[in-house]
Amino acid sequence: MAQKGNLLTFRPDVKVVDATIRDGGLVNDFYFSDEFVTNLYKANVKARVDYMEFGYRADKEMFDTESFGKWKFSSDEDIRSIVGDNNTELKIAIMADVGRCNYKEDIHESSESPVDLIRVATYVNTMPAALDMIEDAHMKGYETTCNIMAISNAKESDIAASLEMLGQSPVDGIYIVDSYGSIYPEQIRTISEQYMEIGEKYDKYIGIHAHNNQQLAFANTIESCAQGVSYLDATMSGMGRGAGNCPMELLLGFLKNPKYKLFPVIQFIENNIVPLKESGMEWGYDIPYLLTGHLNQHPRAAIAAMKEGRKDYSGFYKEIIDKD
């Protein structure tokens, strides 16, 4: 596929999606202060970010509200307490996980909600359930995306079948998700091409959500963008599960659309991320994350090793190779 755009121009179809609360919430069990979330909202508005994802809308029957901060559930009321009527250009997103969201009841008509975009997260083997959620959200008036997770462990034929199903659904956008941070730029270009073909055939936009296990989250994001992918996920200082995500400060530094402002992002990091890190929150590239990424494994073993403060990297390596 021919490259779209170049380094001196910008593509107006590109949208930046801040996923700090949702993916960052996997670091701190969604216990963000209201001040942090309000400051993030204001920074995103100032930086002219296109979407801000709050957390998951998890089912309160399945997950104990005492064990998680409120952004695990992201009720319309809690979002409204931050954004009011959201009289800004910033759109609001939440994520709904297949099998973990009571969407029929917990997702209300969009006319009654501050949310604009419902992002449905699924694995290839739960596509029918994802399609039902997409249909439901679409009927309720939302923009929708489908985020197919862990594609590095899925067969190309299953991905192709899933993309065809989505092409024929009312979904607005389809996301490439590198859950394990195991995908190289060379592969991201091929995958982007595959997704873009479906996108062009069925008039869906394509997005990317990358992880930084091999320090490739930013590289993969901008490489897929050059292939025509247009919804780009990023988080402040890369805050996100394990090795984290594509850092917003790198992405906005790269994008040439003059509407985007880097300065509010740098200010937000200075005033909100630095204190969070100083309070002991940890994320970002480290050897255990590299190793699970390299071996194309879920990062859970690496997350556990980091939580225990393990530095016996070679012992950890031997353990996870045995599990491979």
Binding site for its own copies (CB under 8 A): 3, 6-7, 184-187, 212, 214-220, 222-223, 226, 237, 247, 249-250, 253-254, 262-263, 266-267, 269-270, 274, 287, 290-291, 294, 311-314, 317
* Comparison of 175 and 285: residue with beta carbon closer to its own copies: 285
Beta carbon nearer to its own copies, 107 or 216: 216
Question: In this complex, which beta carbon is closest to its own copies, that of residue 64 or of residue 308?
Answer: 308
Task: Measure CA 198 to chain center.
Answer: 21
Least distance CB 49 / its own copies (angstroms)? 17
Q: β-pairing, 173-177 with 91-97?
A: unpaired
Ramachandran quadrant class, 19 (left: phi over 0; alpha: psi -120 to 50; beta: rest): alpha
CA 60 to each of CA 130, 210, 309: distance values in angstroms, whole numbers, following the listed order: 19, 28, 32
**In the complex, least distance from residue 71 CB atom to its own copies, rounded to whole angstroms:** 25
Tell me the C-alpha distance between 7 and 14, whole Å: 14
> What does DSSP say about strands 205-209 and 231-234: parallel, antiparallel, or unpaired?
parallel
Provide the minimum distance between the beta carbon of 28 and its own copies in the complex, in angstroms, as a whole number: 20
- CB-nearer residue toward its own copies: 127 or 151: 151
**Between 57 and 211, CB nearer to its own copies:** 211
Quote the CA–CA distance of 155 and 213 in Å, as a whole number: 22
The residue among 160 and 274 lying less far from its own copies, judged by its C-beta, is 274
Min dist CB 30 to its own copies, Å, is 25
How many CA atoms lie within 13 Å of 85's alpha carbon, on the beta-carbon side?
Answer: 1
Where does residue 157 rank: exposed (0-12), middle (13-18), buried (19+ CB within 10 A)?
A: exposed
Shortest Å distance, C-beta 136 to its own copies? 38
Measured from the CB of residue 230, what is the shortest distance to its own copies in angstroms? Answer: 17
Q: Hey, which residues does 235 pair with through a beta bridge?
A: 247
Q: Answer whether 205's CB lies under 8 Å from 173's CB.
A: yes
Q: Give the three-class secondary structure for 243.
A: coil
Residue 17 DSSP label: E
Q: Which is nearer to its own copies, 13 or 312 (CB)?
A: 312
C-beta of residue 50 within 8 angstroms of C-beta of residue 16: yes
Q: Scan for tokens 């090795």, then name that residue.
A: 243
Nearest distance from C-beta of residue 262 to its own copies, angstroms: 8
CB of 8 to its own copies, least distance (A): 11
Instruction: Report whether 231 contacts 206 (CB < 8 A).
Output: yes
- Of 200 and 270, which CB lies nearer to its own copies in the complex structure? 270
